[in-house]
């Protein structure tokens, strides 16, 4: 493994290997504190994303690596003068041993990986993938349950929400997954995604009311809806807010996930509930990113895989 560009590029074996490393790091972090010693990682962000950037940077530091960083390459850098992404990468590869790339174009990480001598990790690409978010989502789920055979409800913005799409890609590596999709008409999962899910053996059930989601789903994955993406006739529809009251009908082992940031689509009265895993997800993000960089460094620099 040299690059991590898409959830489509990872096999179930590799995924489980990654989770095993992340589990080990979460338990015995100290043993990994020199894993990236003498290693320089560049966080090259064309769009600001403080959380994702700081999560990667924390991961690098916990592994003993060093950082060079730019928060807003689009505004600040040679990009403004008209430099191509490929040229920028061919320069930065001379400064760093690994590049974490956040960019506004869907194919940015793929293009970068094609010209780069050093590994590229996709930290979010336009409306496309945000694959390490999906890794931390599934890592957090598998801490609670075996993923094979789970039932999961996904809610909110299923059309534009890239975290949802990356998550579904990863879940398709597992068996007998049932997905309940609950969204307003204009934010439903696009048909091509549904077709892919079906072709991969995932059962996809469209819901038009919250009540259609069974009480015994294993996970509810709530997401943020951007008002400006709703069609005019839907503006009157109030956004669905998950709260203590409407969540009370679910089982003791129905866990709540959210990629964050949250606005108000999950009420804070659920924050203290043991089944609310969204902050755990954020914290797990550091471990899974540590695991990913650890594995890539080993594969690429030590074993030449």
* CB 249 to its own copies: min, Å: 26
d(CA 265, CA 220): 12
Q: Between the CA atoms of 216, 175, 186 and 227, what dihedral angle is there, to the nearest 10 degrees?
A: 70
270 belongs to the binding site for its own copies (CB under 8 A): no
Residue 34: count of CB within 10 angstroms of its CB: 12
256 belongs to the binding site for its own copies (CB under 8 A): no
Q: Which of 212, 231, 279, 305 touches its own copies by CB under 8 A?
A: 279
263 belongs to the binding site for its own copies (CB under 8 A): yes
Residue in this structure with the two tokens 């990872």, named with its chain if needed: 10
Which C-beta is closer to its own copies: that of 219 or that of 287? 287
Asked if 100 and 43 touch (Cβ cutoff 8 Å), the reply is yes
- Catalytic annotation present for 229: no
Site for its own copies in 190-229 (CB under 8 A): 224
Binding mask 32-51 for its own copies (x = CB under 8 A): -x----x-x-x-----xxxx
Q: Which of 20, 68, 237, 241 touches its own copies by CB under 8 A?
A: 68
Residue in this structure with the two tokens 């929400």, named with its chain if needed: 161
* CB 194 to its own copies: min, Å: 27
* CB 268 to its own copies: min, Å: 8
Which C-beta is closer to its own copies: that of 28 or that of 192? 28
From 62, 111, 130, 258, the catalytic residue: 130
From 7, 53, 88, 102, the catalytic residue: 102
List the catalytic residues.
Answer: 51-52, 81, 102, 130
Which residues of this protein are in contact with its own copies, per CB under 8 A? 33, 38, 40, 42, 48-51, 53-55, 57-58, 61-62, 66, 68, 70-73, 75-78, 81-83, 87-88, 90-92, 94-96, 224, 260-264, 279, 282-283, 285-286
């Amino acid at each position: 493994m040299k690059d991590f560009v898409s959830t489509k590029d990872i096999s179930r074996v590799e995924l489980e290997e990654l989770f095993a490393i992340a589990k080990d790091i979460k338990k015995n972090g100290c043993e990994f504190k020199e894993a990236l010693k003498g290693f320089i990682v560049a966080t090259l962000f064309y769009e600001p994303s403080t959380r994702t950037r700081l999560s990667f940077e924390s991961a690098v530091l916990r592994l003993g690596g060093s950082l060079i960083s730019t928060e807003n390459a689009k505004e600040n850098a040679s990009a403004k003068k008209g430099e191509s992404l490929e040229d920028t990468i061919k320069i930065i590869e001379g400064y760093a041993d690994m590049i974490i790339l956040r960019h506004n174009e869907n194919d940015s990480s793929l293009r970068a990986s094609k010209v780069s001598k050093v590994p590229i990790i996709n930290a979010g690409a336009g409306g496309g993938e945000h694959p390490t978010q999906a890794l931390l989502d599934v890592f957090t789920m598998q801490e609670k349950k075996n993923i094979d055979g789970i039932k999961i409800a996904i809610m909110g913005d299923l059309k534009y929400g890239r975290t949802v799409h990356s998550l579904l890609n990863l879940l398709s590596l597992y068996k007998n997954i049932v997905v309940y999709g609950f969204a307003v008409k204009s934010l439903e999962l696009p048909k091509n995604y549904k077709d892919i899910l079906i072709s991969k053996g995932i059962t996809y059930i469209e819901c038009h009311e919250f009540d259609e989601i069974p009480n015994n789903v294993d996970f509810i994955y709530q997401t943020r809806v951007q008002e400006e993406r709703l069609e005019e006739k839907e503006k009157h529809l109030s956004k669905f807010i998950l709260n203590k009251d409407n969540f009370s009908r679910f089982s003791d082992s129905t866990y709540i996930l959210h990629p964050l940031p949250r606005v108000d689509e999950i009420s804070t009265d659920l924050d203290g509930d043991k089944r609310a895993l969204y902050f755990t997800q954020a914290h797990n993000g550091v471990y899974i990113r540590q695991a990913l960089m650890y594995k890539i460094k080993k594969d690429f620099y030590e074993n030449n895989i």
